[in-house]
Homo-oligomer: A and B are copies of this chain.
Amino acid sequence: MATKLAFVGFGGVGQALAEIISERSGELKQSYGMDLQVVAVSDMMKGSVYRPEGLDIDQLLETVRKNGTVEQYPDQSGVLKGWSSLETIEHSNADVIVEVTFTDVHTGEPAISHCKAAFQNGKSVVTTNKGPVALAYRELSKLAEEQDVFFGFEGTVMSGTPALRMPVMALAGNRIKEIKGILNGTINYILTEMEKGSSYEGALKQAQRLGYAEADPTNDVEGYDARYKAAILANYLMGADLHHTEVECKGITSLTKEQVQQAVEEGEKWRLLARVTDEDGAVKASVKPERISADDPLAGVTGATNAIVYECDLAGPIMLTGAGAGLKETGFSLLIDLIHYAKRHAKATI
CB distance from A212 to the nearest CB of B (A): 15
| 11 sampled A-B residue pairs with Cβ under 8 A | A162-B315, A162-B318, A169-B170, A170-B336, A172-B336, A173-B332, A297-B300, A297-B321, A312-B332, A316-B322, A319-B321
Min CB distance A168 to B, Å, is: 9
Most buried by B among A162, A170, A312: A170
Residues of B within 8 A of A347 (CB): 347, 350
6 cross-chain pairs, A with B, having the tightest CB-CB distances, nearest first: A162-B170, A300-B300, A160-B315, A314-B332, A319-B321, A169-B169
Residues from chain B with Cβ under 8 Å of A322 in the complex: 315-319
Known: A171-B336, A174-B332. 8 other contacts (CB 8 A): A28-B173, A173-B339, A295-B302, A297-B305, A314-B335, A315-B332, A318-B320, A319-B321
Query: Given A302-B295, A315-B322, A319-B322, A170–B166 Cβ distance below 8 Å?
Result: yes
Within 8 Å of chain B (Cβ to Cβ): is A140? no
Using Cβ atoms and an 8 Å threshold, which residues of chain B touch A291? none
A68 to B166, CA, bound (A): 38
Q: Which residues of B contact A173 (CB under 8 A)?
A: 20, 24, 28, 32, 332, 335-336, 339
A328 in the interface (beta carbon within 8 A): yes
Residues in chain B near residue A171, CB distance under 8 A: 162, 336
CB distance from A307 to the nearest CB of B (A): 8
CA distance A154 to B297 in the complex (A): 24
Known: A314-B329, A322-B315. A170 touches B172 (CB 8 A): no
Most buried by B among A172, A174, A326, A329: A172
Q: In whole angstroms, what is the CA distance A31 to B339 when docked?
A: 24
What is the total number of copies of this protein in its complex?
Answer: 2
CB distance from A225 to the nearest CB of B (A): 19
> Measured between alpha carbons, how far is A185 from B81 in the docked complex, in Å?
60
Chain B, Cβ-Cβ closest to A334:
B173
Who on chain B is nearest to A174 by CB? B332
CB of A85 closer than 8 Å to a CB of B: no
State the majority secondary structure of interface residues on A: mixed
Interface residues of A in 300-350 (CB under 8 A from B): 300-302, 305, 312, 314-323, 326, 328-329, 331-333, 335-336, 339, 347, 350
Closest-by-CB residue of B relative to A315 is: B160
Contacts of A302 in B (CB 8 A): 295
Check if A172 sits within 8 Å of B339, measured CB to CB. yes
Q: Which residue of B lies closest to A314 (CB)?
A: B332
The minimal Cβ–Cβ distance linking A167 to chain B, given in whole angstroms, is 9
Nearest CB of B to A106, in Å: 29
Indicate whether A88 reaches chain B with its CB closer than 8 angstroms.
no
Q: A101 contacts the other chain (Cβ, under 8 Å)?
A: no
Contacts of A314 in B (CB 8 A): 20, 160, 328-329, 331-332, 335
Query: Interface 1/0s, chain A 73-84, versus B by CB < 8 A?
Result: 000000000000
How many angstroms from the CA of A24 to the CA of B31 in the assembled complex? 36
> CA separation between A301 and B297, bound complex, in Å?
8
Chain B residues with Cβ below 8 Å from A301 are 297
Q: Does A124 contact B (CB under 8 A)?
A: no
By a CB distance below 8 angstroms, the chain B residues around A300 are: 297, 300
Q: How far is the CB of A236 from chain B (nearest CB, A)?
A: 14
Q: How far is A28 from B175 in the complex, measured between Cα atoms in Å? A: 11
| Alpha-carbon separation in the docked complex, A211 to B312 (Å) | 22
